[in-house]
Amino acid sequence: MQDGTYSRLLVEIQYMPGYRPSDSTLDQLRDFLASHLDKAQIIMLEPQEIPSGNREQYSAGDIRNIEQSHRKHYSEGSTLASYNLFVDADHTSDNVLGIAYYNTSNAYFGKRIHDVSGTPPLNPSRASVEATVMRHEYGHLMGLVNNGTVMQENHQENGPHCTDESCVMYFAMNRSNFFANIFDGSTPDLCSHCKTDVQAAKED
């Protein structure tokens, strides 16, 4: 995602019936990408509905098959294309809200996202949960933390995740129990360590 070969980023979003991400979610994703990627233009395509996969759970393999059947846009010329899929059931692993599974592809588990969101202040808004999970998964596509984008100082734990509990790259940011128990309703951004890593990658 930091590759200087591409001056533009195209964001393709597909969703199964009932699970279109909100406009607020997409606005927050655009702001995040514009702030942290060195791209002259970020093109957010209108989300497109696709048929249900008719499953109670989706594995990473299921997600890949759906992408292969429905994805329309791929990287070409100076444009880097990314793909986002909102499905209508849970992941095969408990509590997972999103996954990054190819170098330009993310999937989000709409039923689980809806289950942990609701009406503030008793529950976090759906837009804030969606935006947090989308930012987290795009952070993985950007190579954070220490997964392609080099750390300037050590801030990695629990796999490619950040030690800072307020950072959107903290490991719990795509787990449903985080939103059910300790989420304060605001959409997290990258911490100072992750921002430093991104800036160094831009200058490399």
Question: Is 1 inside any structural domain?
Answer: no
Contacts of 95 (CB under 8 A, 6+ apart): 112, 175, 176, 177
Q: What is the CATH number of the domain that holds 16?
A: 3.40.390.10
Paired tokens of 31: 């702001």
* Residue 94 in this model has a pLDDT that exceeds 90: no
In percent, the amount of the chain with pLDDT more than 70 equals 96
Going by the DSSP 8-state scheme, the letter that residue 22 receives in this structure is P
Question: Is 162 inside any structural domain?
Answer: yes
Highest averaged pLDDT of the listed ranges 87-91, 125-129, 185-189: 87-91
Q: Render pLDDT for 53-80 as a digit per residue (tens, 0 to 9).
A: 999 999 999 999 999 999 999 999 999 9
Query: In the prediction, which pLDDT does 202 show?
Result: 85
Domain count, the chain: 1
Helix axes 126-141 and 23-36, enclosed angle (nearest 10): 30
Write down the pTM of the prediction: 0.94
Question: Is 3 inside any structural domain?
Answer: no
Question: Of the ranges 4-8, 36-40, 148-152, 161-165, which one carries the lowest mean pLDDT score?
Answer: 4-8
Q: What distance in Å separates the CA atoms of residue 189 and residue 9, rounded to the nearest whole number?
A: 20
Query: In the prediction, which pLDDT does 106 show?
Result: 98
* Residue 186 in this model has a pLDDT that exceeds 90: no
Question: Is 170 inside any structural domain?
Answer: yes
Nearest to 141 by CA among 110, 105, 195: 105
User: What range does the domain containing 157 cover?
Assistant: 8-203
Q: How, if at all, do strands 98-102 and 105-109 pair?
A: antiparallel
